[in-house]
Amino acid sequence: MKAVVSSEWLKLRSVTSTYHALATAALPIVLGIVWTVYVTGLADERGSVRAAAPEQGFLPLLQTSLAVLGVLAITSEYATGTIRTSLVAVPKRGALLLAKSGVVGLTTFLAAHVILFVTYATSRLIAGDHHLGFNEASFADEVPMLLASGLSATALALVGLGLGALIRSTAGAIVSVVALLFVLPGIAIYLPPPWNTRVATLLLPNLVPQIAEERLSSRLGDGFLPPWAALTLLLAYPLVTLAIGYYALKRRDA
């Protein structure tokens, strides 16, 4: 198994798409600096500004970029035909997918948290004593949200990997991830009550604030999962998707 993991790590770091995805995922750091400078200027004029925290406002960009990395970790092999070589070298398809999951999961977990914490630190450093809304809470109060956000990005990367194994198409898997992250939440709010609240509460983008015990009164009303239930559901997304991807990988020829 160690050799399989080493091989998957070599594959991941030897393709340029990995670095492109990570560079895009790191854009929230730059955008966060620009955003903080902008709202700081507004605060100088108005005295105070209620602004969204950059690590939360640009979280969808981080999540999407790392999800694309997860998709490409397997669909690029289907596109080039190297999946046949991989399956010859590792006949146990479960071991192959497990190794890919471990490498993608660890890489995206570290990348997501580094990016989020750097974005947080730089924005608060620039904000200083300005009253911007997002710099009023202490670091200790923000840690649960930062950790939950990073975990959600990792979960989406693994969901992308599972969808890639299932669909075997880069475009199809990416569209599925985008639908999960952006389209389904938009549809849920138009469902008749109380189903709009019930469904929205279970969707992946809304799990992060529930894990961090941040109420979503504007979008979810009173529908609110306890942190342990929201965390369990967040972990279930990649586990279920990977299980379905493994079934498809096992049943179909390369």
Q: Which amino acid, 124?
A: R
> Residue 43: what pLDDT?
77
Closest Cα to residue 189, out of 177, 201, 204?
201
- State the total domains in the chain: 1
Give yes or no for residue 47 having a pLDDT over 80: no
Angle between helices 139-167 and 59-80 (to 10 degrees): 20
DSSP state of 137: S
68 assigned to some structural domain: yes
Instruction: Give the C-alpha separation, 206 to 63, whole Å.
Output: 13
> Residue 162: what pLDDT?
96
146 assigned to some structural domain: yes
Interval 221-233: pLDDT, tens? 455 788 999 999 9
97 assigned to some structural domain: yes
> Residue 50: what pLDDT?
81
201 assigned to some structural domain: no
40 assigned to some structural domain: yes
Angle between helices 2-14 and 59-80 (to 10 degrees): 110
Average pLDDT for the chain: 89
N- to C-terminal Cα separation, the chain: 21
Give yes or no for residue 197 having a pLDDT over 70: yes
Give yes or no for residue 209 having a pLDDT over 80: yes
For residue 206, list its beta bridge partners. Answer: none
Give yes or no for residue 51 having a pLDDT over 90: no
118 assigned to some structural domain: yes
Range list of β-strands (E), 57-103? none
Q: What is the mean pLDDT of residues 223-248?
A: 92
197 assigned to some structural domain: no
Interval 26-39: pLDDT, tens? 999 999 999 999 99
Domain coverage including residue 90: 2-169+238-251
38 assigned to some structural domain: yes
Contacts of 63 (CB under 8 A, 6+ apart): 152, 153, 156, 181
Closest Cα to residue 7, out of 96, 131, 135, 106?
96
CA distances from 233 to 86, 157, 236 (A): 32, 16, 5
